[in-house]
A and B are shown apart, each in its own frame.
Chain A
Amino acid sequence: MRNALKHLSSKGKRGAWIAFVMLAIVLLALPFFTEELFGRGWVRIMDFALLYIMLALGLNIVVGYAGLLDLGYIAFFAVGAYCYALLGSPQLGLHLPFWIILPLGALLACLFGVLLGAPTLRLRGDYLAIVTLGFGEIIRIFLNNLNAPINITNGPQGISMIDPIRFGEFSLGNTHELLGLTFPSVHLHYYLFLFFTLLVIFISLRLEDSRIGRAWMAIREDEVAAEAMGINTRNIKLLAFAMGATFGGLAGGLFAGFQGFVSPESFGLTESISVLCMVVLGGMGNINGVLLGSMLLVVLPEALRHGSGPAQQLLFGKTLIDPESLRMLLFGLALITVMLWRPAGLWPSNQRRRELVAENDAAQL
């Protein structure tokens, strides 16, 4: 992806253009192929994969670039989702249009990011992890309990009948006929999410080599040295938090519009950890790695969920282990093994790999 973009910018090499166009065609045709081969359920899974990619890229800014371990990242996703749900459902009787609530949700999430970041940025890595974890839980507890005495979030039941994403008269909740092709709702969402995912990838790519991106990495490596180089560490770290939170809020809004239903259950600690796993497993700070990690961790567990039941039937004649818990178990095992064998992730960024080698040399001295 990055190579393709770099080639494009360095005055049209033909091969790169062809690769780019082919990639675009594949991405555009993907939902139709998937539906044909695996059924419509898998298109839905692809939609979720795109949402998770957005989340993972957002978290990658905080964890991968700036090196701030955030264990409550899903809270920003929740803020975005609940913002959409409250402003576009019968819950409060508000039905604001999509193009107002989505940016509003992202903005609100950004605000929460700053709110969380401001007091906690003085803390060292692992303290920060715990505080963010606590923050995530606080948000969830409030969502769970804000149904009394005034019913705002409808408590554990969650908010249902959320308006579908709608551009004027064109609602993504319905099936549409265009150019002789039938586009069901999941396909339409796929294209919308693809657009936003590419946008997030583009922003991340541009950030990586920018002044801000370099400042983040400098802070990740050595905060004191970065400060000595004239970087305003507080503001730059806050920016990382705000930026990551914005992407989270964006994904949350899209999630609410897609799902039509939100409840506090979707925003637990396990979700925060899953997103973190995607970033770490793929390779912190490397966009390719994060893409790989998120796709693996969305598709693999789904395949396991569908495959492990029948496979166990075949091997042992009955379902020994509930596929859902097997999924989480493998999650945990994957985290441990990847960290032990490849501490930098499956597809680490070049810079990070160099550092790890250097650090190991230093440790042996």
Chain B
Amino acid sequence: MDTLLQQIVNGFVQGSVYAMVALGYTMVYGILGLINFAHGEVVMVGAMVALSVIQLLIDSGFPPLLILLISLIISVVVCMALGYGIERIAYRPLRNAPRLAPLITAIGVSIVLQNLAMMFWGREYHAFPSLLPNNSHMLSGAIITEVQILIVLIALGMMGGLLLLMHRTRLGRAMRAVAENPSAAVLMGVNINVVIAVTFMLGSALAAVAGIMVSANYGIVHYYMGSILGLKAFTAAVLGGIGNMRGAMVGGLLLGLIESLGAGYIGDLSGGFLGSHYQDVFAFFVLISVLIFRPSGLLGERVAERA
């Protein structure tokens, strides 16, 4: 088995999940200039809802693929409603408030969601049932499961769809206009509230799908899974250049690769001093170095200080 190739495969799979979540951050940031801190929790809620639906339907005799599809649809709908609710309650009233205020309500929302999830679903780790046959393929020395192939394909498909939406439809044009200059967009007849709500809902839908992907990949769901995933996805968004959608995709994939390669080789490189449990540190080191050396990210344009 080839370690290098295997780590690249793992990194690519993990990276496509990061990219999906990072898109949610970057879209909201592009339009509102706000870090949606609660986004990671939306991922968690998506995974949890899907888990409950699957547990409900697993004995119903439906084919597994149908169950997966139903749970996907329900969790996407729930998350879109959640995203809309978060925007409506916690962000819209504060749109003209000082910068710190919406950031703090976002933290509040994230705490509330986490604890509500803990009350509903409990503190324990849940096993996410594997509905798809767990076949694996050898790819010139590396093992890749069918679930992983599916994850990468769905992620690529959704990202492609999103790009089409952004650049080929009226809605996409409106979103880009609001990101560019909100007041000018209003004058051009764009309903800014609708655009912002749609942005949140789109991001949340992506988050729900990402939540299901990550739980299907690892087979574990936990009420705390959202925060660290959200943090890393945000790192990915910054790495690619926040506010830039292609940047989020590239950043996500890159971060996944850096992380898995780093965790795979850190033991050898440091002579056994640092082990793979330092994996989480990589994301933060990447984040800090990007912010220091290239604050606008890999694909971001240099933006002037926007106070």
Contact = CB atoms under 8 A, between A and B. Distances in A.
Given A122-B295, A134-B287, A149-B272, A273 B111 contact: yes
B231 interface: yes
17 contacts: A123-B295, A124-B306, A125-B100, A127-B291, A134-B287, A280-B104, A322-B119, A326-B115, A332-B109, A332-B112, A332-B114, A335-B105, A335-B108, A336-B89, A336-B108, A339-B97, A340-B105
Interface in B107-133: 107-112, 114-116, 118-119
Contact of B109 (A67, A127, A336): A336
B81 interface: no
Contact of A343 (B98, B111, B291): B98
Contacts of A331: 108, 111
B292 interface: yes
Interface in A320-363: 321-322, 325-326, 328-329, 331-336, 339-340, 343, 356, 359-360, 363
A336 B101 contact: no
Nearest to A341: B93
Contacts of B105: 335-336, 339-340
Given A135-B284, A222-B307, 13 more contacts: A127-B295, A130-B234, A138-B281, A141-B278, A223-B307, A224-B305, A329-B112, A329-B115, A332-B107, A335-B108, A339-B104, A339-B105, A340-B93
A284 B101 CA distance: 11
B292 A119 contact: yes
Contacts, number: 133
A145 interface: yes
B167 interface: no
B90 A134 contact: no
Contact of B112 (A130, A149, A223, A333): A333
Nearest to B242: A127
A328 B100 contact: no
B284 A137 contact: yes
Nearest to A320: B119
A133 B231 CA distance: 9
Interface in B76-113: 89-90, 93-94, 96-105, 107-112
Contacts of B111: 273, 328-329, 331-332, 335
Contacts of A185: none
A130 B238 contact: yes
Interface of A is mostly: helix
Interface of A: 63, 67, 69, 119-120, 122-127, 129-131, 133-135, 137-138, 141-142, 145, 148-149, 222-224, 269, 273, 276, 280, 284, 321-322, 325-326, 328-329, 331-336, 339-340, 343, 356, 359-360, 363
A332 B115 contact: yes
B107 A329 contact: no
Contacts of A223: 307
B100 A69 contact: yes
Interface string B200-238: 000000000000000000000000000100010011001
Interface residues of B, number: 50
Nearest to B95: A363
A332 B103 contact: no
A69 B287 contact: no
A200 to B, nearest CB: 23
Name, among B115, B273, B277, the residue most crowded by chain A CB atoms within 10 Å (CB to CB): B115
Contacts of A284: 100
A328 to B, nearest CB: 5
Contacts of B112: 329, 332-333, 336
A135 B280 CA distance: 12
Most buried by A among B100, B116, B227: B100
Nearest to A132: B288
A225 B102 CA distance: 24
A276 B238 CA distance: 24
Nearest to A270: B111
A149 B108 contact: no
Contacts of A130: 35, 231, 234-235, 238, 287
B96 to A, nearest CB: 4
A138 B284 contact: yes
Contacts of A269: 227
Contacts of A332: 107-112, 114-115
Nearest to A123: B291
B182 interface: no
A321 B34 CA distance: 33
B275 interface: yes
A114 B239 CA distance: 24
Contacts of A63: 100
B38 to A, nearest CB: 10
A339 B307 CA distance: 20
A335 B103 contact: no
B243 to A, nearest CB: 12
A298 to B, nearest CB: 17
Contacts of B116: 329
Contacts of B99: 125-126
B278 A119 contact: no
B101 A339 contact: yes
Nearest to B289: A119
A119 B285 CA distance: 12
User: Which are the 5 A-B pairs with shortest beta-carbon distances?
Assistant: A335-B108, A332-B111, A134-B284, A332-B112, A363-B96
